[in-house]
Structure 1
Amino acid sequence: MSIVSKADTGVRAPLAAVLPAILGIALLVLPLAALVARASWGTLFQDVTSPAALQALWLSLRTGFTATLVCVVLGVPLALVMARSSARTAQLLRALVAVPLVLPPMVGGVALLFLFGRTSPLGRLIDDLWGMTLPFSTAAVILAQAFVALPFLVLSVEGALRSSGAGYEQAAATLGATPWTVLTKVTLPLAAPGLVAGVILCFARAIGEFGATALFAGNAPGVTQTMPLAIYTAFNGAGTGRDSAVALSLLLLATAILVLVSVRAWRPGALK
């Protein structure tokens, strides 16, 4: 047996898949509904506009934007190299890029701490050259966010570049276009939907980062306390702290929904 409705391809989903699908949707939606139901609406506006909340929000947005810029500068060339490499090289690079997606964020924070810590060779070199220590600073927040968010940008852009193919690039090069002209006038415009979607997802992942930031950057208000860390601090506080944690969580949930809507709007053919 099969359900009555059809997909655009005309292939019907089997009836046996309906119940697990409903349970899957419930697993995703019901916790969020419970979060909304737990909100203290009488103090919601006060909680999300408190000085501590606005400070954490501004820090998250500022560091998330900077981390996204870092990911664009490093990730777009990496995605281009992956898309234009041999199958074996691309497979290896793709596996390396995907490591932060499956790595527990806490492990990423420990790794960053050992790489840039004061006792590490790189940490001592940075201290000698610029007189700065990266761990437990705002710069550490940006590095942690870039570490966990970079794969979202790279994989999205690489997929777009592979989908567009190299035919137009070869035609432009044959007509005498320079490599820079081919990149800026042909390659990147063709990959624009994937690039925009990757940037949006990268930014969303950056502002939602918790584990690596907590270990590598700490939880200092105004310096390294981003929104996820502020939620954690409020949830473990006394009194009405959990109401504040719920309010801040709803603020991040609203941001996530906005990100999903933005990604959907930029998908090819989404408006058709």
Structure 2
Amino acid sequence: MPGHILVLGGTTEARQLAAELTGPGGGAATTRVTTSLAGRVARPRMPAGAVRIGGFGGPGGLADWLRTHGVDTVVDATHPFAATISAHAAEAAKATGTPLFALRRPGWTAGPGDRWHPVDDLAHAAERLPALGRRIFLTTGRLGLAVFATAPGADALHFLVRSVEPPEPPLPRHADVLLDRGPYTVEGETALLRDHAVDVLVTKDSGGPATAAKLTAARNLGLPVVVVRRPPPPDGVPLVQDVASVLRLLRGKGRFSRGAADTCP
């Protein structure tokens, strides 16, 4: 087991990993665990063990932090769409020779009855909307909403925007904001879609069960879903899909997967 593990966190899996590593039998007697949080959420769910909050100042700053604090291994357990910090981690790990791997939950997969429209980014998602419906449920987070405000035909659409923190402006001209945090239920998501007369759902392929209920609700109601594909992971960074596999790797009992992370089609 490494002497000092830096977990780039902010996800459920990162908290689970920190709890396992700092709990009984997790190696806490010989291993130091530090979880780094970006600091973008006002009241984050705090992981077990040591925590640092805020950015590192780019890949150079992260590399300096790894050296100064004697980090032996970095686990990138950030959100699948946190491409910037993942890229910085890859650069810093390479510069310092620090082992790095990424913990990425599997992406969602379309099933029978799903009406998914995969796109590469939020801009392409916004372009699709006028042809699909008029009342849009946006569950893509609080950042990047400007593309929906300025896309062709946006003024004819009505948006319900859900995020944990108040979204950053500019927002679409016709938008209601719902501040809420998962996990969600199929019953609750179905009621929400019906109460707001939603006819299109927009989501990122975050994966995991906490926010997947909206996909089931949309399928049951026959609604189209615009799904933003995940950005590719940095080249050469090994991928692991669950906490148990991370623990086996840290204990020298597992293998990495160097293939692309699972994503929607």
TM-score band, normalised by shorter chain? under 0.3
TM-score by length of structure 2 reads 0.23
TM-score by length of structure 1 reads 0.22
Rg larger in 1 or in 2?
Answer: 1
User: Whose relative contact order is higher, 1 or 2, with alpha carbons under 8 Å and at least 6 apart?
Assistant: 1
